[in-house]
Structure 1
Amino acid sequence: MLYDLDGVIVDSKSTVVETLCEVAGIALGTLPPPEKVRRLAYLPPVQVLAELGVADAAKVFDAHFDTAYAGHARKSRLVAGMTAAMWRVRMSGRRQAIVTMQRRHRLNLLPLGEVRDLIDTIVCFEDATPKPAPDPLWLALDRLQIAPDQACFIGDTASDIRAGRAAGVTAYGAAWGYQDAAALVAASADGLLTEPADVVGLVLGERSVTVGYDSSATGMTVRSGSSP
């Protein structure tokens, strides 16, 4: 089982939004609207800064992001129920890995706690061509000695889903993360998980998982199918 980190295991969106607001504010001389930053937060940070009008966004990112992030990272929390789900997966005998766009030196700033004891490897931004390329997933699978057709990847952005499909793994969308169900379905997710307990159901076959949705003027109707 492969997982993205931010949004799937760690609820870090507020941390990222506040960090990006601070960095953009340094460059622009005024803070951008937080809601605009929140809507963009699923994108790579340099791209968000560019979208906010920051000139030389990569240079600004390198100069200020780490310092600002360290000041806000304490606000991050583990997604409720995710540690328990990962314990169940571990107890079932499955191996687990994190595949993240996060830089390795920032991991110690996040409240990973016992999650570190539940995973076999972490593939970070520096380790391979980042998602949506399939390379980091292939690296994780190589370390776990698992074939792509025997693995699932749980991500919370369209980029995650594209990476999973390119890698040949079953790619499920975590609808509690950075992007909503509509974006994950549009990216051709193989299924949607609506809460961390669905991770256990997916692995152990104890419940059905969402495979799509029908939207209408009155709202969203979910239809479900059995997990593989």
Structure 2
Amino acid sequence: MLYDLDGVIVDSKSTIVEALRDVAGVALGTLPPPEQVRCLAYLPPVQVLTELGVADAAEVFDAQFDTAYARHARRSRLVAGMTAAMWRVRMAGRRQAIVTMQRRHRLNRLPLGEVFDLVDTIVCFEDATPKPAPDPLWLALDRLHIRPDQACFIGDTASDMQAGRAAGVIVYGAAWGYQDAAALVAAGADGLLTEPADVVGLVLGDRSVTVGYDSSATGMTVRSGSSP
């Protein structure tokens, strides 16, 4: 099992939003409205700053984001139920990895705790060409010694879905993360998970998992889960 970090394992959206507001505020001379940043937060941070009108966004990000991130990292929390699900997966004998666009030095600012003990490897931004490229997923699979057709990736953004499909793995959208179910399906998700407990069902085949989305009707169609 492969997991994205922000939004899937860690509820970090408030941290990211406030850090980006601070960085943009220094560059622009005024803080952008929180809702404006929140609506963009699923994008890579440099792209968010560009969308907010920050000139030389990459340079500004590199110079200021770490300080702002450290100031707000206490807002982050583990997604309720996620570590329990990961423990069940671990106890079932499955190898687990995190594939994230976070830089490695920021991981210790997050409340990961036992998550470090539950995964076999963590692939960070600097380890490979970042998502939506498939490279970080391939690197994780190589470290786990498993083939793409043996793996499943759980992400919460369109770039996660695109990376998973390009890597040749089954890709599921975590509907509790940064983007909603409709966006994840539109980006090519093979299915949706509506709560962390569905991760266990996906592996053990003992729960229902969402595999379709119909915004004109009830929103979701369901079938019995099965292990990829």
* TM-score interval, smaller chain: over 0.9
Report what 1:223 is aligned to. Answer: 221
Answering whether residue 212 of structure 2 is matched by residue 212 of structure 1, we say yes
Q: Deviation of residue 73 (structure 1)?
A: 0.4
TM-score, length-scaled by structure 1: 0.98
Q: Which runs of 5+ in 1 are unaligned?
A: none
Report what 2:64 is aligned to. Answer: 64
Q: Residue type of the partner of 1:197?
A: A
Answering whether residue 48 of structure 2 is matched by residue 48 of structure 1, we say yes
Report what 1:38 is aligned to. Answer: 38
Q: Deviation of residue 214 (structure 1)?
A: 1.4
Q: Deviation of residue 11 (structure 1)?
A: 0.2
Matched residues in 1 for 2:120 and 2:213: separation?
Answer: 34
Matched residues in 2 for 1:221 and 1:186: separation?
Answer: 13
| SS of the residue 1:178 aligns to | coil
Matched residues in 2 for 1:147 and 1:80: separation?
Answer: 30
Matched residues in 1 for 2:53 and 2:219: separation?
Answer: 38
Q: Which runs of 5+ in 2 are unaligned?
A: none
Answering whether residue 153 of structure 2 is matched by residue 153 of structure 1, we say yes
| SS of the residue 2:64 aligns to | helix
Q: Residue type of the partner of 2:140?
A: A
- Is contact 2:182-2:215 (8 Å) kept? no
Q: Deviation of residue 213 (structure 1)?
A: 1.6
Report what 2:177 is aligned to. Answer: 177
Q: Deviation of residue 196 (structure 1)?
A: 0.1
Q: Deviations over 1:96-117 (max 9, x none)?
A: 0000000000000000000100
| SS of the residue 1:129 aligns to | coil
Q: Residue type of the partner of 2:164?
A: G
Matched residues in 2 for 1:180 and 1:215: separation?
Answer: 11
Which runs of 4 or more aligned residues in structure 1 lie more than 4 Å from their structure 2 counterparts after TM superposition? none
| SS of the residue 1:183 aligns to | helix
Answering whether residue 9 of structure 2 is matched by residue 9 of structure 1, we say yes
Report what 2:193 is aligned to. Answer: 193
Matched residues in 2 for 1:207 and 1:75: separation?
Answer: 32
Report what 2:104 is aligned to. Answer: 104
Matched residues in 2 for 1:75 and 1:220: separation?
Answer: 33
Give the count of matched residue pairs: 226
Q: Residue type of the partner of 2:169?
A: V
Report what 2:85 is aligned to. Answer: 85
Q: Deviation of residue 225 (structure 1)?
A: 1.8
Quick one: percent identity of the two aligned structures? Answer: 85
Q: Deviation of residue 220 (structure 1)?
A: 3.1
Q: Deviations over 1:180-209 (max 9, x none)?
A: 000000011000000000000000001121
